[in-house]
Amino acid sequence: MIQEFDFAVLDYIQEHIRCVFLDWLMPKVTMLGNGGILCIALTVLFMLMRSRRKCGFSLAAGLFLSGLVGNLMLKNIVARDRPCWINDSVDMLIRIPRDYSFPSGHTMLCFTVAVVLFCYDRKIGIPAIIAAAAVGFSRLYLYVHFPTDVFAGMLIGILLGILASFTVKKLWSTAEIEKEVVHE
């Protein structure tokens, strides 16, 4: 039942939305989540900036949780085949991934980062959330994830972003209070 819905959405995208411009654009959009390279670079940059250091640590926590929960645990526990493994009749625009499909790691990582950014600065967070949604759509367009993979990646990413931000903010304020007590 769920897989029928998933394939109906993917088939709709292939039949009614796919076009030359998006064939060019979507592989570039999906690269925002490739290997977390951009997210890691942003994390390091923020950790080096005194004014953004707390956010940088939250990003680092979010990246760690995202990799652990999504890519190391859930993908291997659920072990869901990708749509392009099941239906190989679709012309692929990117290399076929070799890891499992559920949840979408690209989507989860991008939403984790976007939510952390939103928790610290909405002016940066809102465009980041839009970019994360575009990455999620790109995974559907490129036929490498089912809609339920992307939806789960989005939800998990949101939760991990909130958890990372809340935890680091709490630990940071505790450390600042302890620092004040020591200096008195």
Where residue 107 sits, what CATH number does that domain have?
1.20.144.10
How many structural domains compose the chain? 1
Nearest of 52, 176, 69, 61 to residue 125 by alpha carbon: 52
Name residues of the chain where pLDDT drops below 50: 181-182
* DSSP characters over 86-130: H-TTSPPSSPPP-S--SS-HHHHHHHHHHHHHHHH-HHHHHHHHH
Q: Is residue 69, in this structure, part of any structural domain at all?
A: yes
What pLDDT does residue 175 have? 64
What pLDDT does residue 118 have? 97
Domain that holds residue 121: 2-177
pTM confidence score: 0.90
Q: Is residue 35, in this structure, part of any structural domain at all?
A: yes
Q: Is residue 17, in this structure, part of any structural domain at all?
A: yes
- Reported as a single tens digit per residue, the pLDDT across 60-85 is 999 999 999 998 999 999 999 999 99
Q: Is residue 21, in this structure, part of any structural domain at all?
A: yes
What pLDDT does residue 36 have? 82
